[in-house]
Amino acid sequence: MLQNQSIGIFDSGVGGLTVYRALHERLPHERFVYLGDTARVPYGTKSLSTVERYAVENAQFLAARNIKLLVVACNTASALALPAIRRAVDVAVVGVIEPGARKAAVVAENRVGVIATEATVGSRAYSNAIHKFSPDCEVIETACPLFVSLAEEGWANSPEARSIATQYLQKIVETEVEALVLGCTHYPILRQTIQEIVGEKVTLIDSGEATAEVVAQVLLKENLSANLAHDSKQLSENRSLCDDLDHFYVTDAADRFARVAERFLGTHPARLEAIELWGKDELHTN
Amino acid sequence: MLQNQSIGIFDSGVGGLTVYRALHERLPHERFVYLGDTARVPYGTKSLSTVERYAVENAQFLAARNIKLLVVACNTASALALPAIRRAVDVAVVGVIEPGARKAAVVAENRVGVIATEATVGSRAYSNAIHKFSPDCEVIETACPLFVSLAEEGWANSPEARSIATQYLQKIVETEVEALVLGCTHYPILRQTIQEIVGEKVTLIDSGEATAEVVAQVLLKENLSANLAHDSKQLSENRSLCDDLDHFYVTDAADRFARVAERFLGTHPARLEAIELWGKDELHTN
């Protein structure tokens, strides 16, 4: 029964867990299968063709696990590789950029800030997406490259993170944006620090939460929502994050993934499996 | 003529440039070929088998370019993969850990600190190597995971880096070590910050500099030093860093490599080439 298949999620690593959390909260009766490509993280500093290849491989891995819908939780892959992913798999594909951009265009009338990795900022994917919904909106994009390691290493709420964030966000604050898009899956971990710096008047937009809303709409429209009456595994509405109905795969270093999951979600996956990238790489000169 | 072949250097990314700089300063009449595996960086969070496979592929790539000696500039690969690399290639292989450990054992009588990535600390490679030379020496190892991104993003001498380093180095300072090994290629970029915190009495040991000294000895012993009289390309003793006699390869994102090189060395490679990791990866469940 198609309705009771899982929703697939992939990310370049552990950051996509914030998207998983948002999906789980919005759709507590769905089950999920998550792939973190920890062997090849980060994507944000890699070239277009490399990101496309990795993203398609990840999508195909999840498609082979009978998913009913695929969420591309990685902003870099959403910015660069959605067309290639859609060509490669048969299920509906939802990226994180358009939902975040659309919500920003609804919330803000004149000025939106976007913070993301260098690659996402360089792609101008958020600016282009926001301008589709709100052509006259001014968009100020800034890369905050240290945020990822500050989040992963547990420094999100430290004075050092606040000081670094103050410098990264200076232009955003000066421009008096109405909304600020957290355009990298790691950034919601620094949400409190970021909100303190930009002030309570600025609406923070978590792309993961916006994406969960879009996924809920797609499931309804396509008649794909989980059917509790027909589920042999007794899906309930009161599932916990990371319980054994959700399956997590990583391409490397499962220990580290579990440790960072604990830091991000307060719990770690009951079912976590390391899969292998087969050893057929060769180095060739162009 | 074997003497006038290049010295090969590989690293997981851009950090090995500090080892290249140390080799270049110590051996100004040698030419170098450097491979930065920027498509698969970082190694420090990856598993043993993955690091071995990547390291062997890198070594074979350089061996095919007629090198006379191979320097493994990556601490993680030096800690985990030297035996596999030595089985895979025909030339002499020098890692960065044993030279740094030996120098520490000479400088310090009682207590040595080592700072490195989590993987290197976890491997206890420095402790084991130091104890080979000085069995009773107390070794205090600490991971400083944020140092890599602080160095690459240009925050090495910032107040935030000093504050973060003060916390990382607290135990090292309290233990009153006599010497501190910079056991990650990125850390020499933070040398000034680290020295300020541990105080002038502590000797900082740059594994790259110690490695350059060992390489100089091996070249002499094996009669492999560059022979200026027989070099058609007019090698001189006054070469600049990154001139066109040294050849740099990266597996991805050459632009970013050049930018960080500029930050680390004050210049960027005259000859920098992106090579491709061939697309034969497949994701398999174990």
Q: Note the pLDDT tens digit of each residue in A122-145.
A: 889 999 999 999 999 999 999 999
Give the lowest-confidence range in A93-97, A111-115, B97-101, B114-118: B114-118
Q: What is the pLDDT of residue B235?
A: 62
Q: Is B148 close to A153, i.e. CB distance below 8 A?
A: no
A248: closest chain B residue by CA:
B285
Q: Of A251 and A181, which is predicted with more confidence?
A: A181
More confident residue, A210 or A41: A210
Residue of chain B whose alpha carbon sits nearest to that of A51: B39
41-60 of B, contacting A, C-beta below 8 A: 45-47, 50, 53, 57-58, 60
Q: What is the mean pLDDT of residues A84-100?
A: 97
Structure tokens at A195: 């909100």
**B253:A47 CB<8 A:** yes
- Does A253 contact B at CB distance below 8 Å? yes
DSSP-derived 3-state class of residue A263: helix
Q: Which of A281, A282, A286 to mutate to test the interface with B (most CBs of B within 10 A)?
A: A281
Helix spans in chain A (H): 17-26, 48-63, 75-80, 82-88, 97-107, 118-123, 125-133, 147-152, 159-168, 170-174, 191-198, 207-221, 254-265
B74 given a catalytic annotation: yes
Is A186 in CB contact (< 8 Å) with chain B?
no
Please name which of B184, B124, B50 lies closest in space to residue A41, comparing C-alpha atoms: B50
C-alpha span between B47 and B211 (Å, rounded): 25
- Complete domains list, chain B, with CATH: 2-95+209-274 (3.40.50.1860), 98-207 (3.40.50.1860)
Q: Is the pLDDT of residue A154 over 50?
A: yes
Question: Which has the closest alpha carbon to A257: A244, A240, A275?
Answer: A275
Is the previous residue joined to B83 through a cis bond, with omega within 30 degrees of 0?
A: no
Beta bridge partners of B221: none
Residue B47 is predicted with a pLDDT of 78
CB contact under 8 A, B39 and A57: no
> B223 vs chain A: nearest CA distance in angstroms?
31
Minimum distance, in Å, between the CA of residue B209 and any CA atom of chain A: 28
- Measured between CA atoms, the residue of chain A closest to residue B148 is A149
- Give the C-alpha separation, B74 to A51, whole Å: 24
A251 touches chain B (CB under 8 A): yes
Q: Structure tokens of B118?
A: 């989590």
pLDDT for residue A249 is more than 80: yes
CB pair distance less than 8 Å for B46 and A253: yes
In this predicted model, what pLDDT tens digit does every residue of A23-62 receive, in sequence order?
Answer: 999 999 999 999 999 888 888 777 788 889 999 999 999 9
| Token pair in block for residue B47 | 């598993």
Q: What is the nearest CA distance from A257 to chain B, expressed in angstroms?
A: 10
Q: Is residue B233 within 8 angstroms of chain A, CB to CB? A: no
Chain B neighbors of A36, CB-CB under 8 A: none
Q: What is the mean pLDDT for each group of 10 consecutive residues in chain B (286 residues)?
A: 92 96 95 93 81 93 96 94 96 97 96 93 94 96 96 96 98 97 96 98 97 97 85 65 93 89 94 71 39
Shortest distance between the Cα of B205 and any Cα of chain A, in A, equals: 26
At A278 the pLDDT is: 46
pLDDT score, position A232: 55
pLDDT (mean) for A96-103 = 97
Chain B CB within 8 Å of residue A273 CB: yes
What confidence score (pLDDT) does residue A108 get? 96
Are B235 and B245 in contact by the 8 Å Cβ rule? The answer is yes
pLDDT for A110 beyond 60: yes
Q: A197: pLDDT confidence band, cut at 50, 70 and 90?
A: very high
Q: What is the pLDDT of residue B230?
A: 67
Distances A54 to A39, A46, A58, A148, B32 between C-alpha atoms, Å: 11, 10, 6, 20, 32
- Residue in A with minimal Cα distance to B279: A281
